[in-house]
């Protein structure tokens, strides 16, 4: 039997429509900006000038439909780690030090045991990120949510000095791109994954529990890179929704050449099985999934970066480089050479 190709759009997620909506949001929210807004909607995190050369970096996110798998399997103690990771991994891409986090938990009615497990995971994520969980909100909304369902959102704030900002003009042609491994699918592409699960025997094979592995938090490793490389750490890209198309967000006026991605022996087994089952080509997969890469760095000292990562106990790969470009163009910004 031949493979059946199943796209993200087939699973109900229209990334192109979402991108158009973000563009529309950008055009509307600018009327709310003051001269203190350094970077708003569209980057990995927003920047607000606090004066004295200090910026606040902030980001908000959720966990997406991974929540439905957590509910189906009755595993709720790791989904909070995902929530923190999705927010904090964006904020650190500015070079910021995470300071504090707030969460929002909504459900049809409060289930104490489930809620305790979720908050326990959020606390775990904040400890991994060396930041405080300073508040949150719990909402019961019967009629909005079905019994047993819940939703999560979070908000992270960090601080960065102007001279320590990453990305933008710091990323330049000639920089190397170094990829750090993900723990799996992290928290993106789960609408497509769930569609494939319904068409497979993955629950019988034990793969469903593997794809609940929480998103890796990169705060510690980024701090090690900052300490080791200093100004030679030019940019960071958190590989989330839209997969490797997140790399050009470091500086959209440049090209990013991808020479390699991790092979099947270097990624969790469940990822390779799902990629085979999807029937999608490598470029399509790279536009949805992280392909085993959770974070990508741009630096002009790749050897020193690799040594620092090894010292920190992190595996890494040189995956490509930065080249001259002609501005933002999805067909040009990321050129796959695989």
Show me where the domains of the chain are located. Answer: 33-164, 168-336
pLDDT of residue 109: 96
For domain 33-164, the CATH architecture is: 2-Layer Sandwich (3.30)
Residue 335 has pLDDT above 80, yes or no: no
Cα–Cα distance for residue pair 254/271, rounded to 1 Å: 30
Span 168-336 CATH architecture = Alpha-Beta Complex (3.90)
- At 27-53, the pLDDT tens digits run 677 777 778 888 755 578 999 999 999
* pLDDT bucket at 14, cuts 50 / 70 / 90: low
Which one is predicted more confidently, 289 or 199?
A: 289
DSSP symbols for 268-284: -HHHHHHHHHH---HHH
Q: What is the average per-residue pLDDT within 180-202?
A: 84
User: Which tens digits make up the pLDDT trace of 231-265?
Assistant: 999 999 999 988 999 999 999 889 999 999 999 89
The model's pTM is: 0.89
| 105, 133 Cβ separation under 8 angstroms | no
CA 19 centroid distance within chain: 16
11-25, 87-101, 242-256: least confident range? 11-25
Which positions ≥6 away from 323 have C-beta within 8 Å?
A: 173, 254, 255, 256, 257
Q: Which residues, 6+ apart, have CB-to-CB distance to 7 below 8 Å? A: 192, 280, 284
| pLDDT at residue 22 is higher than 80 | no
């Amino acid at each position: 039997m031949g493979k059946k190709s199943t796209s993200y759009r087939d699973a109900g997620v229209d990334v192109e429509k979402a991108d158009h909506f973000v563009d529309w949001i950008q055009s509307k929210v600018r009327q709310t900006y003051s001269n203190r807004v350094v970077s708003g909607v569209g980057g990995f995190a927003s920047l607000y000038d606090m004066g004295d050369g200090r910026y606040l970096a902030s980001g908000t996110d959720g966990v997406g439909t991974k929540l439905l798998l957590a509910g189906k399997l009755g595993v709720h103690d790791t989904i909070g780690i995902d929530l923190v990771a999705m927010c904090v991994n964006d904020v650190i891409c500015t070079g910021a030090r995470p300071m504090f986090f707030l969460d929002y938990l909504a459900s049809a009615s409060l289930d104490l045991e489930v809620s305790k497990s979720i908050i326990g995971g959020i606390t775990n994520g904040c400890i991994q990120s060396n930041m405080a969980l300073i508040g949150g909100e719990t909402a019961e909304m019967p009629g909005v949510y079905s019994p047993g369902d819940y939703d999560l959102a979070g908000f992270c704030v960090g601080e960065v000095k102007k001279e320590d900002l990453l990305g933008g003009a710091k990323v330049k042609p000639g920089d190397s791109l170094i990829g750090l491994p993900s723990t799996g699918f992290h928290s993106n592409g789960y609408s497509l994954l769930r569609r494939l699960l319904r068409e497979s025997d993955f629950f019988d094979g034990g793969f469903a529990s593997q794809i609940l592995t929480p998103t890796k938090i990169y705060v510690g490793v980024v701090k090690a890179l900052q300490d080791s490389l200093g100004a030679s750490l030019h940019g960071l890209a958190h590989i989330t929704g839209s997969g490797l198309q997140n790399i050009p967000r470091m500086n959209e006026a440049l090209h990013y050449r991808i020479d390699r991605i991790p092979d099947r022996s270097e990624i969790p087994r469940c990822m390779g099985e799902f990629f085979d089952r999807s029937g999608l080509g490598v470029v399509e997969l790279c536009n949805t999934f992280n392909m085993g890469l959770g974070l990508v760095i741009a630096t002009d000292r790749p050897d020193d970066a690799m040594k620092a990562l090894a010292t920190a106990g992190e595996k890494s790969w040189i995956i490509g480089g930065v080249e001259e470009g002609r501005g933002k163009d999805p067909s040009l910004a990321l050129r796959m050479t695989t």
